[in-house]
Every structure is written in structure tokens, then in C-alpha cells.
Amino acid sequence: MQFDRRTFLAGAAATGAAALTPRAASALQGKDLMALYDNAVVIDTLSFAHKWDDEEYEAVKQSGYTGIITSLNRHSLKVALDQLLEWHQRVDEHPDRYMFALKADDFLAAKKAGRMAVMMNFQNATMLEGDVDNIDILYEMGMRCFQLTYNSRNLVGDGSTERTNAGLSDFGVAVVERMNKLGILVDVSHSGKQTTLDAIDVSRKPIAFTHTMCESLRPGHPRAKEDAVLKKLAESGGVAGIAALGYFLGKNPGTETTIETYVDHIDHAVKVMGIDHVGLATDFPVRGIASWATRENWYDPRLKSFKPVYDVQWPSWIPELDTPDRFRNVLPILDRRGYSTGDMEKLLGQNWLRLFRETLG
């Protein structure tokens, strides 16, 4: 009997999911967990800054992050190029703080040097302005990831809150093929269901949901991914990052929805996908939201820009996840629920490193 790559990965995902059964917690001492964290590669696959100032860098140091996938303005090609140029200038000015993440090994180099690797990403394809060759220009400037769509329809396909559920357009197929050729990670976190499924099918390399959550635990939310979609991503070799934004995870963040709810989403994704296909993400600044956001500058604008089905809430954050040491706070819960040290290292960053090696090189 012959097996293709996807058949093998499907079996591996199923094996990984079956292996995660309830067992006695390892009961690591707190200092052992913190040592594990300090030594681990820690990657947040959707983070950014309210402002990249000294205060944000203090948060970076407290976070212990090895790297992030950031979010840049994608209004137009010119704006996108200006954003990339701004990051080149920032890295030139602060070579002790930041470095570009152009390939998987850059995260390891950043860890060794005590810097944070930053992967340049756009949360939409609007900056392409309908020309697939613009991908090459952005790639040369350092872009290594972008979302095919945001919430609404664009020339590539339908977004997650669009009324229709059309898949990739012909242009969208050409975009994915060019991304594969150059070595750019395909992200469909904000894409509609059929666009998501089409992207998995069309891409010759595994893709990502860099920041999402489980629809089984957040029914009806357009940003959540259904179990069948999560499973298909795993079967193709992809990775899903579980976002830590409170109202993505449930109702009434900080009270009814807590850090335990966040780990519930991680647990569910692991059971569906296998331990090798799940990672961590936030979808907000390294310093968090509460330190700078108000109803007027954060909540009210989102009520106008997002449809009611998005269920935007205030406050939007979970306190234990809104501080820079958020992922440190997650480890004791993972430990108590029976995750091994190797499992934790995979969730913190090793799964992303594997994906980056297969997609970026």
C-alpha cells in the first residue's frame, strides 16, 4: 500500500490526538516550569504594538518572547512598503532589540542573541492591488506572511463575516501559488470557510491559522474554526494558533471567561488536531490592552467596524493573559492538565518552527 504525505500526516495527527488522554499531572515545581519557559522558543503568531516605544520593549523583555508575527497596515501597496521600510529603520536603530524573521532559523538566532525576531505580516491581501507580481516586491522588502482575506470579501476570496461563502477566486489561486513559490506563509485566520478549505487544498505547502479559536467552544463566532476544518489543517501539516483575546474565547472576559477557558480551547484543538499542530497567539499588543485602551479608543470603533455577530465585548481581555508574562501563566495549567514538558515546548514554539521550516525554508 502506498501512502502520500497527507495520508501520513492524517495518521500522525490522529495518533497525537489519541495520545493526549487524561493522566496524572507531572506536578513540576514552579521554578522548573519557569526554567522550561526561559529555555524554550516562545512564538506569538499575531502580536503588535500600540506604539513600539521603550514601554513596549520593557513588555517584550518581560514576555520572554523569542519572536512574533506582527500586523502591518495593508491599505495600499505604498502604505505596505512604507510599513516595511519603517521596520527596517527600527531594526537599524535597535539592533540589540529586534531582528527580521526571514526564515525559521532566525528565531533560533534571536533566542541566542537575546533579541526578538519579527515576521512581517499583513492581515489582508488588499495591498497587492490585484497584481500578483506585487507579492515579489513585498517579499524582497521582508514580508514572509499574509492573510488571504480579512473579514470581508476581496479579490482573493470571501472573509469570515461575508454574507456569501465563496472560495478562492482564480486570482486567489494564483496568489497562493506565488506564495508557495517564494516561501511565504499562507494565513487564513480571517477567511471564510470555503476560502479556508480551498487554501488548504491549493497550497503545496502547509498553511496556518495564526490566531483563531475553536467553534465547538465558541459556537457561531465567525472567527472560530470548526472541528472538521481544524482536522483538515492538521492533515495537511498546518498549525493553528489559539488567540488569547477574551471575547474570542467566550462571554464576559475576566469573569465567566478566564485563563482556564483559554486552555480549554488549547485542549480541544489538541484533541482534534494532535499536539504537533497547535500553537499560541494573542491578537493584541505585547503589553496587553488594559494598559492603554479605553471604551472610546478601542471598543466603540470596533462596534462600528465589526458586524454584531463578532460579539465585541468590554472589557475585552482576560487579566492573566493581558500581562506580558501571559504564557508563563499558562504553563502551570498545562502542567496540571497533564501536558509533558515536550508538549509544552511544542505549543510554545516548536510547532511553529517546524511549520516555518516547511514554508519559509
Residue 243 DSSP symbol? P
Which residues are bridge partners to 209 per DSSP? 240
**Which run of H or of E encompasses 205?**
none
Q: Record the cell numbers describing residue 45, joined without a space.
A: 503568531
Q: Record the cell numbers describing residue 218, joined without a space.
A: 465558541
Low-confidence ranges of the chain (pLDDT < 50): 1-25
Q: What is the pLDDT of residue 185?
A: 99
Q: What is the pLDDT of residue 152?
A: 96
Q: What is the pLDDT of residue 132?
A: 98
Distance CA 303, CA 312 (A): 7
Closest CA to 233 of 179, 261, 193, 181: 193
Residue 143 DSSP symbol? E
Q: Record the cell numbers describing residue 94, joined without a space.
A: 535597535
Q: Record the cell numbers describing residue 83, joined without a space.
A: 510599513
**Which run of H or of E encompasses 240?**
strand 239-242
Q: What is the pLDDT of residue 238?
A: 98
Distance CA 249, CA 219 (A): 10
125-161 per-position pLDDT tens digit:
999 999 999 999 999 999 999 999 999 999 999 999 9
Distance CA 290, CA 292 (A): 6
Q: What is the pLDDT of residue 14?
A: 46
Cα dihedral sign, 90-92-95-98: positive
Q: What is the pLDDT of residue 27?
A: 54
Q: Record the cell numbers describing residue 61, joined without a space.
A: 523583555
Map residue 323 onto helix, strand or coil.
Answer: coil
**Which run of H or of E encompasses 117?**
strand 116-122
Distance CA 356, CA 43 (A): 11
Options 2.60.120.40, 3.20.20.140, 3.90.1150.10, 3.30.479.10; CATH for 5-359 is 3.20.20.140
pTM for the whole structure: 0.92
Q: What is the pLDDT of residue 30?
A: 83
> Length of the chain, please?
361
Distance CA 321, CA 28 (A): 21
- The string of DSSP codes covering 37-79 is HHHS--EESS---S--SHHHHHHHHHHT-SEEE--B--SSHHH
- Which residue shows C-alpha cell 458586524? 307
- Which residue shows C-alpha cell 481544524? 230
Using the CB atoms, write b or e for 245-270: b if 16+ within 10 Å.
bbbbbbeebbeebbbebbbbbbbbbb
Closest CA to 222 of 283, 311, 304: 311
